[in-house]
Amino acid sequence: MSIESSVNSAALSPIMKSGPLPIAREGYPFLLISLALTLLGAWLFWPLAIAFGLAFLFCLNFFRDPARTPPADTGLLVSPADGTVLKIESLSSGLYMKEPHQKVSIFMSPFNVHVNRIPCDGKVEEVHYFPGKFFVASLDKASLENERNAVVMRTPRGQKVAFVQIAGLVARRIVCYLHENTPVSRGERYGMIRFGSRMEVCLPPEWKVLVKPGQKVFAGESSLAEMK
């Protein structure tokens, strides 16, 4: 397993370019292959056309990339992923932030939008990839044992934020286009996880978390916390 990355520089914007359609470019090969197989199945054996047609529709849904608009209040940290808030924890230390912090865990089902977005303005300090297993992403042990990619950044006020892409049971590829010393903007696309996964966001303990377990959130739009 490996991280897909692109050669970019601090001057390149956006980090992850959108395509001409509201579909992530990373999904084009899957869509073309499943569509070709659908057409081939229609010619050879119609049950195959139905099966491959359903695969095409699944990929079309999975790789959708709708436009998102962050809230007008720049003091709000937005969700980096679509999904459901699993839990909110207060920790004295962790793998990505050694100091006390809060952690918000978000579960992304295969039916959520999987394009990930930057939660706040700032500059990337560290990017760490960890190979691992593929437990169900909703399980707590997925945080420590699954394949994952962590990004640590600083806000313009010097506060540290970390966000972690975690592969799930079905996911087999983490895509991250960020590099160290990259300036980033809130709501900007930066990667995705294929297929089904988990996102964790670590933030300073003094920030006010605005979500609750069970709440649905949307990348680049939903406010996770009020920055102080």
Summarised one tens digit per residue, pLDDT across range 91-138 is: 998 888 889 999 999 998 888 888 999 999 999 999 998 887 766 666
Share of the chain above pLDDT 70, in %: 83
Tokens standing for 82?
Answer: 């679509």
- Tell me if 188 sits within 8 A of 121, measured CB to CB: no
| Relative orientation angle of helices 28-44 and 46-62, to the nearest 10 degrees | 160
Q: Is the pLDDT of residue 8 over 50?
A: no
With a pLDDT cut of 90, the percent of the chain lying above it is 47
pTM: 0.82
Widest CA span of the chain, in angstroms?
62
Highest mean pLDDT among 17-21, 63-67, 118-122: 118-122
Active site residue 90: no
**Active-site residue, from 34, 105, 143, 197:** 197
Instruction: State residue 18's pLDDT score.
Output: 60
Three-state DSSP at 158 gives coil
Backbone angles phi and psi of 198, in degrees to 5? -145, 145
Question: What order do you get walking across the sheet with 76-78 strand by strand?
Answer: 76-78, 223-226, 208-209
Continuous H helices in 108-209: 142-145
- Which residues are bridge partners to 46 per DSSP? none
Q: Considering just the CA atoms, what is the radius of gyration of the chain in Å?
A: 18
CB 119 within 8 A of CB 161: yes
Q: How large is the average pLDDT for residues 29-58?
A: 88
Tell which residue, 177, 226, 212, 126, has the closest CA to residue 6.
177
| CA distances (Å), origin 85, targets 14, 82, 109, 212, 222 | 27, 9, 12, 7, 11
